Amino acid sequence: MRDFWEFPGGKVEEGESADQALCRELDEELGIEITTFRHFMHLTHDYPDQSVAIDFFMVSEWQGTPSGLEGQQIRWVESSTLASADMLPADAPVIAALQADTVSKY
């Protein structure tokens, strides 16, 4: 969906776990090696032309400096501003959870 921001990630390849896909995708897209992460949320979202199932993770430690290795722009934003950041519609429940007090303790 053009002109929307999205969290980094991608598809799980055959024979790969969601954890393995997370590590591979963030290495491919951002050039970082994840050292500490936890599963955060699983959701499904129905777009007009397809349904998606997404696992979200909280990554708290990594090695390397994130950069857009696939030509994409990257930026850091405060969780309090995500609702106005033109994120993908499927990300709305994640944004709400990130803004909740319980998540900010991570």
Residue entry with tokens 């024979």 = 15
Query: Could you tell me the residue ranges of all domains in the chain?
Result: 18-104
Name the token pair of 69.
């290795």
- Rounded to whole angstroms, the Cα distance separating 45 from 70 reads 25
Pick the CATH number of 18-104 from 3.10.28.10, 3.40.1390.30, 3.40.50.1240, 3.90.79.10: 3.90.79.10
What is the per-residue pLDDT for 101? Answer: 60
Has residue 72 got a pLDDT over 50? Answer: yes
Residue 102: pLDDT band with limits 50, 70, 90? low
56 within 8 A of 40, measured Cβ to Cβ: yes
Has residue 2 got a pLDDT over 80? Answer: no
6 within 8 A of 91, measured Cβ to Cβ: yes
Q: Range with the lowest mean pLDDT among 19-23, 43-47, 80-84?
A: 80-84
Tell me the per-residue pLDDT of 26-70, one tens digit each, with 9 for 90 and over.
999 999 999 999 999 999 988 888 898 889 999 999 999 999 998
**One-letter amino acid identity for 80?**
S
Residue 104: pLDDT band with limits 50, 70, 90? very low
2-to-65, 72, 88 alpha-carbon distances in Å: 26, 12, 10
For residues 66 and 92, which has the higher predicted lDDT (pLDDT)?
A: 66
